Amino acid sequence: MEAVIEEKKLSRKDQRKILKEKKKKAKSLMEQYHPMTRKEKFKNLLREIWAHRVFYIMLVPSFILLLIFAYKPMYGIVLAFKKYSPRLGILGSKWVGFQNFETLFAMEGFWSAFKNTIVLNLLKLVFGFPASILLALMINAIHNKFFKNAIQTVVYLPHFISWVVVSGLIFSLLNERTGSLHRLLTSFGLNLHVFSDGKQFLTLLVISDIWKEVGWGAIIYLAALSGVSADLYEAAEIDGASIWQKIQYIDIPSLIPTAMMVFILDCGKMLASDTNKALVMQTPGNIPTSDIIGVYVYNVGLGSGQFSYTAAIGLFINIINFILIVSVNQLSKRMTDVGLF
């Protein structure tokens, strides 16, 4: 009786919430003791789709584009198992089985490009991944709104600059004869030959990539931090917590799920290669370092016309990337309970 009187005192909004929660509990109990059949599950799915039909209709154009430009061209995978001839076409070309893969594993040039790609992406992951997190934490700690927006704009802009423009700037600044930055750095006793020395060129690639993408990478972390309740920061201030303690006990734990997802995706791109960057910055002196998989495929595929061989390379790389992303995802789920699937 008392419970009924208390429910009457509640507002209609609160009563609806309570009723909704009771329905959910009743539904979960029903599912626990009376598991739904496949037919019932399918009916529930159809009800859910119909209830949110507007959102599903909005997804249709994207789904169509994905089918046309992502899934339809996948039939070209068969090129990896054929001796492709433009005259005969994909279906008419001779089937050679795993011959292209045997050629791939026997080629020294491929393994050299494979090693360069792995080293470059590992360095980008080791230094670039935490750089975006650190930048997001620093921007989040700024309280002046105008200064915060100005900093965000400045660090986001490099992402939209073409690698052709960036490489032009790098060549002009670090030119051994006329480069102003080269002169400044050599005046401090540094022996710079960034376009002819392999190790120095690799360092230049990593630093330029971090400079260009660190701001863009920080966006997702700033979005995660914006979802942190302001009450946590207020409570921390009342307790006399310093900025570092707020970062350590509020910001970093809030970023772990997002950071792990980004880390999984980055590991899945371990053999991806930014061909544009490597091509425009390549010189005869740095070819042993700048010859990554993308450049190798470009030279062999378009330069020599070995389309089947390059298709085999693409398939091999995608299989390894898939294995990496699944493995890291499973490891992440075991360690942090965070995963993509």
Q: What is the DSSP string of 282-333?
A: --TTTHHHH--HHHHHHIIIIIH--HHHHHHHHHHHHHHHHHHHHHHHHHHH
- DSSP-derived secondary structure letter, 249: I
229: left (phi over 0), alpha (psi -120 to 50) or beta: beta
195: left (phi over 0), alpha (psi -120 to 50) or beta: alpha
CA 177 to chain centre: 38
The parts of the chain modelled with pLDDT lower than 50 are 1-8
Closest CA to 299 of 113, 90, 93: 113
pLDDT given at position 189: 80
- Which helix (H) or strand (E) segment holds residue 11: the answer is none
| pTM for the full predicted model | 0.77
Task: Show the domains of the chain with their CATH numbers.
Answer: 2-80 (no CATH), 98-336 (1.10.3720.10)
Is 171 in a helix, a strand, or coil?
A: helix
pLDDT given at position 46: 86
pLDDT given at position 77: 85
pLDDT given at position 79: 86
- Which helix (H) or strand (E) segment holds residue 50: the answer is helix 38-51
- DSSP-derived secondary structure letter, 34: S
Contact 274, 294 (CB under 8 A): yes
Contact 215, 159 (CB under 8 A): yes
Cα–Cα distance measured from residue 30 to residue 96, given in angstroms and rounded to the nearest whole number: 57
Cα–Cα distance measured from residue 218 to residue 196, given in angstroms and rounded to the nearest whole number: 33
Q: Which pairs with CB-CB distance under 8 Å and at least 24 residues apart come from 213-216?
A: 213/128, 213/132, 213/158, 213/159, 214/128, 214/131, 214/132, 214/135, 214/155, 215/135, 215/152, 215/154, 215/155, 215/156, 215/157, 215/158, 215/159, 216/156, 216/159
Is 13 in a helix, a strand, or coil?
A: helix
Residues 90, 93, 95, 97: what is their CA dihedral angle, to the nearest 10 degrees? -60
